[in-house]
Amino acid sequence: MELPWTEKYRPHKLKDMVGQDAIVDRLEAYVKAKSMPHMMFAGPAGTGKTTAAICLANELIGSTKQDFLELNASDERGIDIMRSKNQQSKDVTSLKDFARTKPIIGNFKIIFLDEADSLTTDAQQALRRTMESYTSTCRFILSCNYSSKIIEPIQSRCAIFRFKRIPKEKIKEYLEGIVKKEGAHYEESGLDAILYAAEGDMRKAVNILQSAAYLGKVSEDNVYAITTRARPEDVKNLMELALSGKFVDARNMLDKIMISYGLSGEDVLLQMNREVMNMGIDDKIKVRIIDLIGEANFTLVEGANERIQLEALLARMMLLK
């Protein structure tokens, strides 16, 4: 069975990573020195944190699986992750046992804890002590979306790497390389639609690309159908109709967006919030629209009827002019 493209085209060396040049340079310095401290990778999803950890392990300790342990902390959020049986190796019964045993090749083992911000405080306290006790035989790499959820004692033990969202041009270049290797048919507008939907998330972009390619062509229509996103121009048109006082037309456009694209009320609000800054209107009006969108979002979170709240939002926008 063919691998998903996110795995098939995952870089295996640091130099092949895109969009994180400054971080790659720092990591390659550790590879040259053949040593590394404990590390923490923080940043949004799909920006290369897991890939960087695997590439670093490959270059420092090779492909020796006995010296590399990868765990997803969200699977076992509590203290049990420090004691639970390791399914990857029958010889190792816990994370602590893995950390204390000597490496087979090289100077140290590497434990990669993905989604470490999902660990409970008790588990992080136990992890802190393990990191301190077994530095001579093991190094930890922690990845998280929100570094603020990691306790300070762990942060102070780690070299912190902050990953940024990958620039659109880098993602587009990477996607073009994939479609050429796969021989997939694509349009420039289709790739641009992927960039709009992915918002700097490489994994999301590659997944959308594969889904669109399997439909026959990476086109704008296929991409928006897959991602359940409305076209940006449709969302801007919705707001422009409301601002110009054409409530019935705006209501009909809202129907089209929600029914044709299958968007929820919150999805519509998110896209409106994103597109309002691209409209050619006065900044004061933009500020008021964002404020109204925030109020509508709060009412939806509280459980109000999304259809009523969205129509009320359009009515309030009419009153702005």
pLDDT digits (tens, 9 = 90+) for 123-158: 888 888 888 888 888 999 999 999 999 999 999 999
pLDDT band at 90, cuts 50/70/90?
very low
pLDDT band at 72, cuts 50/70/90?
confident
Evaluate whether the domain defined by 232-319 bears CATH number 3.30.930.10: no
Supply the pTM of this predicted model: 0.83
pLDDT band at 119, cuts 50/70/90?
confident
- Residue 88 has what pLDDT? 43
For the domain spanning 5-162, the CATH number is 3.40.50.300
pLDDT band at 75, cuts 50/70/90?
low
Residue 248 φ/ψ region, left for φ over 0, alpha for ψ in the -120 to 50 degree band, beta for the rest: alpha
Does residue 241 contact residue 279 with C-beta atoms inside 8 Å?
no
Mean pLDDT of 81-85: 53
Evaluate whether the domain defined by 168-227 bears CATH number 1.10.287.70: no
Cite the DSSP H helix spans in the chain.
5-8, 21-33, 49-61, 95-100, 121-133, 152-157, 168-182, 188-198, 202-214, 220-227, 232-243, 247-260, 265-275, 283-301, 306-319
- Residue 63 has what pLDDT? 62
Does residue 314 contact residue 254 with C-beta atoms inside 8 Å?
yes
> Do 168-227 and 5-162 have the same topology in CATH?
no
Q: Where are the domains of the chain?
A: 5-162, 168-227, 232-319
pLDDT band at 74, cuts 50/70/90?
low
- Residue 228 has what pLDDT? 81
- Residue 140 has what pLDDT? 93
Mean pLDDT of 48-70: 86
- Residue 82 has what pLDDT? 58
